Amino acid sequence: MDVIKAVRELGKAIQQDERFIRYAKARLENDNNEELQAAIGKFNIIRMDMDRMMSSEEKDENKIKELNEELRRVYGEIMSAPAMVEYNTAKVELDQMMSEINTVITKTLEGEDPETCETAAACTGSCSTCGGCH
């Protein structure tokens, strides 16, 4: 079997997996959630205002503090919204699946048997190189 053909088959299998379906549905629901999108827009505007204020030669520390508090409040609203909680949960599960897939591919390239190699990546102790905890 051609390698690219096999990868395309893998892509089809990924799109049929419950984790991908859950993620795609959650992403679409977030995109169509007007209240959540309005909060994200508000967050972005506050962040731009804060960036402008911080790069200004005449910094108003009280205004910066006020904007930072508002930014945190809106961020909290966004992240605690049920649609965003579902999205983040689904994304973690999808990322874990992709980490397992990448681990099998990597170990196969290192000469291990793709049928028997472990799918959990060994922890290097560095979260910057991690695909997620297993």
* 85 vs 119, higher pLDDT: 85
pTM as predicted? 0.78
Over residues 28-53, the pLDDT tens digits come to: 999 999 999 999 999 999 999 999 98
Domains and CATH numbers, the chain: 3-129 (1.20.1500.10)
What is the sign of the dihedral through the CA atoms of 50, 80, 92 and 11? negative
The pLDDT assigned to 123 comes to: 62
Cα–Cα distance list, 3 to 7, 8, 17, 127 (Å): 6, 9, 21, 31
Neighbours of 26 (CB within 10 A): 20
Q: Name, in order, each residue with C-beta under 8 angstroms of 101's C-beta and a sequence gap of 6 or more.
A: 10, 14
Which class for 87: exposed (0-12), middle (13-18), buried (19 or more C-beta within 10 A)?
A: buried
Over residues 76-97, the pLDDT tens digits come to: 999 999 999 999 999 999 999 9
Which class for 27: exposed (0-12), middle (13-18), buried (19 or more C-beta within 10 A)?
A: middle
